[in-house]
Amino acid sequence: MFRLIFLFIVLGAGLYVGSQYSGQQGYVLISIANTTLEMSVTTLLIFIIATLAALFGLEYLIKKMFYASSATWNYFSVRKMRRSRRLTNEGIISLLEGDFKTAEKKVTRWANHHDMPLLCYLVASEAAQGMSDDKKRDHYLNLALEQKDSRLAVELTRAKQQVREGMFDDASTTLSSLSVDYPNNAVVLKLLNNVYLELKLWQPLLDLQPKLAKAKLITKDEQQQLELRAECGLLTEIAEQKGSEGLIQHWNSLSRKLKTDLHLVECFSTQLIKRKADEHAFTVVKETLKKHPAADLYKLLPQMNLADNHPAIVFLEDVLRKDGNNAEAHSALAQFQLRNQKWPEAQQHFEKALAVRSNVSDYAYLADTLEKQNLNKAAHEVSKKALTLVGK
């Protein structure tokens, strides 16, 4: 547009000058080496205008040629990209349908023409894993990793695949590396939580819970359950590594809130019993039951190998004086009486426990108690009840 305006201005100026000085055109002399050229001013102006017009026209034609060539190139490039997108979409559908071979073929065929090859290679990697071809799976992941800004997507895909294959140690390594650069990534945090649970890495699991809660990936109840599970797992781990002394030392270092949690008290006491620290376990369970009567804790008492059963029997008798319908206390006391070969007393407490609730173990103990007293018919009837419960 500017060039056209310029040409019209030059042409108009020429016409104006020509009309003003008609008959007085003058002349122009151009001398180059031995060659001279004469012409009128009007002729020179027309020549200049014609030359400029020719140059502008030539420029226009050249641009048109390049534009046509570029448009043709772009047409074929866009066509290839659209075809690649279509094949990738079809490949994703095939992957979801479980047709892994077709999925791999479609997403890789035109991957070089896709505007996001990363997606093609990640889908191909998933398809390769679906076919249990680890070599191809890793090959496609490496191709994906060569793409720009691909690390997070590639490593998350790798970690998910490792989790699905049960390769939790490898997944832990992958995710730990990612967590350094992406500490608040929701997917990384959730995967780490699952991996720590599988590997029973209790301390890292405990350290992870505040981050999960802050990111609102778990509810308060879920956080509490996970923390208790981790604490119980940590107690078991310490008991196996350091014995009862290390276990007690760790327990004493816990907060008062944790030491009053009934689930953890049961977990701690169970580990003490396994490590033959039954006297300490009895003290812990007895003191806890005085404040919080819990059925699961009563069940631990008969499992203890105490040097003297009398304190446990006295404690249970005192509990039953206050609450005669405490089935678990009746059952625990009956088992101590059975151990002391006091058959009538054991029978009495088993019957009272079973009158409150049904329990296969108590029926079996009662049948054994009746047999000890030569009450075989009654023992047979009790055994039938126990078998009925087992059948249910």
Instruction: Name which residue leads in pLDDT, 38 or 72.
Output: 38
Judge whether residue 391 has pLDDT over 70. Answer: no
Q: What percent of the chain is predicted at pLDDT more than 90?
A: 60
Using 50, 70 and 90 to split pLDDT, how confident is the model at 35?
A: confident
Instruction: Name which residue leads in pLDDT, 189 or 8.
Output: 189
Nearest to 167 by CA among 203, 141, 190, 191: 191
Task: For residue 305, give Cα distances in angstroms to 142, 200, 251, 283, 328.
Answer: 59, 30, 21, 13, 18
Judge whether residue 392 has pLDDT over 60. Answer: no
96-111 pLDDT tens trace: 999 999 999 888 887 7
142-197 pLDDT tens trace: 999 999 899 999 999 999 999 999 999 999 999 999 999 999 999 999 999 999 99
As a whole number of angstroms, the distance between CA 22 and CA 15 comes to 10
Contact call for residues 223 and 213 (beta carbons, < 8 A): yes
Q: How big is the CA angle at 343 (ends 339 and 348), to the nearest 5 degrees?
A: 110
Nearest to 291 by CA among 267, 332, 259, 260: 260
Q: Which CATH architecture best describes the domain 308-392? A: Alpha Horseshoe (1.25)
Instruction: Name the residue ranges covered by the structural domains of the chain.
Output: 308-392
What torsion do the CA atoms of 370, 376, 382, 383 make, to the nearest 10 degrees?
110
Judge whether residue 307 has pLDDT over 70. Answer: yes
| pLDDT at residue number 386 | 75
Instruction: Name which residue leads in pLDDT, 296 or 32.
Output: 296
Judge whether residue 3 has pLDDT over 90. Answer: no
113-137 pLDDT tens trace: 777 889 989 999 999 999 999 999 9
Q: State CA 147 to chain mean position distance.
A: 23
334-348 pLDDT tens trace: 999 999 999 999 999
Terminal CA-CA length for the chain: 94
Judged by DSSP in three states, 36 sits in: strand
Judge whether residue 384 has pLDDT over 60. Answer: yes
Q: How big is the CA angle at 199 (ends 177 and 245), to the nearest 5 degrees?
A: 115
| pLDDT at residue number 114 | 77
Using 50, 70 and 90 to split pLDDT, how confident is the model at 75?
A: very low
Contact call for residues 331 and 348 (beta carbons, < 8 A): no
Ramachandran class of 358: left when φ > 0, alpha when ψ lies in -120 to 50, beta otherwise: beta
